[in-house]
Amino acid sequence: MTGLLVLTAVPAEAEAVRAGLTDPTVTVRPVGVGPAVAGAATARLLTLAEAAGRPYRAVISAGIAGGFAGRVPVAGTVLGTRSVAADLGAESPDGFIPIDELGMPPELLGGGPVVDADPELLAALSAALPGATAGEILTVSTVTGTAASTRALADRHPTAVAEAMEGYGVAVAAAQAGLAFVELRTVSNPIGPRDRGSWRMAEAFRALTEAARALPEAAGTLG
């Protein structure tokens, strides 16, 4: 296997990651916004690399995210212990029902609504980024924007640290290819009502560049 594949949603995130890299074996690609397009693009990139005889050794979903207040600071770095499809399921009078609790046959759920991070890669990144906060990173198709929905999401996921829009899609593609995966994010804003005055985009992009410096060495620990 050859290098590391790092996927971001948008070009600005990809540029921030590249700014922290000097290792030519790391490939960085923006793949679009949302889990469907990110998962499809990741699967295509992995298939093309394998067909060319240069398969990747690991996949990272990277970018900026909203963070849960009190769990991670704005401009902080988070590492996903699991990538969770937080809104994949059904509403009910008693609250949200995750897709794996709806009685569907397991074979129709793929890996279910959760993909665990590769423990070896997660441990290596945690060691290289001692200031990072580890926890679940939620993947949503609609960004949380009210106090009520923020409370509900935080209650359903007490160990979640952040939410973004691509991680679960990239994670599923990596899992289907049998590759190690971790989600890495830096926090640009607190999750909740959209208050642009509280966003710290520049700080989050700088933190992403700094975090990217740890990627090649961490990936190199994989067997």
> Which of 145, 139, 138, 141 has the alpha carbon at shortest distance from 195?
145
Helix (H, G, I), strand (E, B) or coil at 8: strand
Q: Total structural domains in the chain?
A: 1
CATH code assigned at 38: 3.40.50.1580
29-53 in b/e burial notation, b at 16+ Cβ within 10 A? Answer: ebbbeebeebbebbbebbeebeeee
* pTM exceeding the 0.85 threshold for the entire prediction: yes
pLDDT at 10: 97
pLDDT, position 107: 60
What are the tens digits of pLDDT across the range 74-91?
999 999 999 999 988 778
Neighbours of 136 (CB within 10 A): 24
pLDDT at 85: 93
Domain range holding 184? 4-219
How buried is 92 (Cβ within 10 angstroms: 0-12 exposed, 13-18 middle, 19+ buried)? exposed
Q: How far, in Å, CA of 207 to CA of 216, rounded?
A: 17
Burial of 196 (0-12, 13-18, 19+ CB in 10 A): exposed
46/55 Cα distance (integer angstroms): 7
Q: Within the chain, which residues score under 70 in pLDDT?
A: 1-2, 105-111, 223
Q: How far is CA 128 from CA 81, 166, 219, in A?
A: 15, 24, 11
pLDDT in tens, 175-186: 999 999 999 999
User: Could you tell me the sign of the dihedral formed by the alpha carbons of 16, 35, 172, 100, in that order?
Assistant: positive
C-alpha R_g of the chain: 17
